[in-house]
Amino acid sequence: MSTVQNTPFTVVGEAPLQLQMWWYDLGEDGQKWVTKYLGALIDIMKIKPRDDLIEALVTFWDHVHNVFRFSNFELTPTLEEIAGYSGFGRDLRNQELIFPRALFVHRFFDLLNISKQIRKTNVVEGCCSFYFLYSRFGQPNGFEMHEKGLNNKQNKDTWHIHRRFAFIMAFLGIMVFPNEERTIDTRIARVVQVLTTKEHHTLAPIILSDIYRALTLCKSGAKFFEGCNILLQMWFIEHLRYHPKFMSYGPNKDNFIESYEERVKDYNSPEG
């Protein structure tokens, strides 16, 4: 029997404790700044992932038409639904795409305010480790530990601002755009730069396209889901349970992710 056949199917699990601690260490001002750009997406850290559900869903995926085909109906997640979960569903047609272009290592360091004297070998095949970011910006003593390797004019207040940007990158790289190696794609730094400096841009298309791509790869035999499995899981369970009325993902003060558990508490999905 081949090794591939013996490899279990896996998805992104619960948010790493270090990522959660980093979030809380940002404080109220830092969290408000992050939420301004990520919206309710940050709350996927509160959702318990279901790898069995995603594995089952893969078997119904039609990669030619990008739909789930069941016995007598089809379903597919839409841009409006993905954007609605984050709370940025308003005027989606007038939002611009963000293209995750490749970066030279020095440009990546510039965006993270990391000194160019740091070894390029910290970036391998366009990715860095979570620890590379966490040790510099996540740990409360990251400023003191890496002061000379950071471009913040040795000012801790400036470092506090820079660590917000780094947190968004780490969060997206771990929870939204994961890879099998559990490293963080440096292109995400460019995505975060556009998201935080330019108006009218949306993450929804690249989140959805990554989900589609991950489904197709897993249908072809891949054993790790390289997409936002938690959003896909939430979307599917929402569609399984009965809604007394049409569910609108448009402009709304409600946080659809935070209220998710309450909405589906009366639904018992099959286990295994």
Within a domain: residue 270?
Answer: no
DSSP 218-267: HHTT-SB--S-HHHHHHHHHHHHS--SS----SS-SS-TTTTHHHHTTT-
Contact 54, 230 (CB under 8 A): no
Within a domain: residue 13?
Answer: no
In the prediction, which pLDDT does 1 show?
39
**Residues 85-106: tens digit of each pLDDT:** 888 766 788 889 998 999 999 9
> Number of structural domains, the chain?
1
pTM (predicted TM-score):
0.92
Within a domain: residue 9?
Answer: no
Within a domain: residue 266?
Answer: no
Within a domain: residue 241?
Answer: yes
Can you give the residue range of the structural domain that contains 228?
A: 18-70+81-259
Query: CA nearest 40: which of 263, 260, 265, 262?
Result: 260
Checking if the pLDDT of 242 tops 80, the result is: no
Within a domain: residue 76?
Answer: no
Q: Assign 121 to helix, strand or coil.
A: helix
Within a domain: residue 125?
Answer: yes
* Mean pLDDT, the chain, integer: 89
Length of the chain: 272
DSSP state of 153: T
Phi, psi angles (nearest 5°) of residue 268: -110, 100
Within a domain: residue 26?
Answer: yes
The C-alpha torsion from 32 through 37 and 41 to 43, rounded to 10°, is -10
Quick one: average pLDDT of 256-261? 79
String of b and e for 200-235 (b: at least 16 CB within 10 Å)?
A: ebbbbbbbbebbbebbbbbeeebebbbbbbbbbbbb
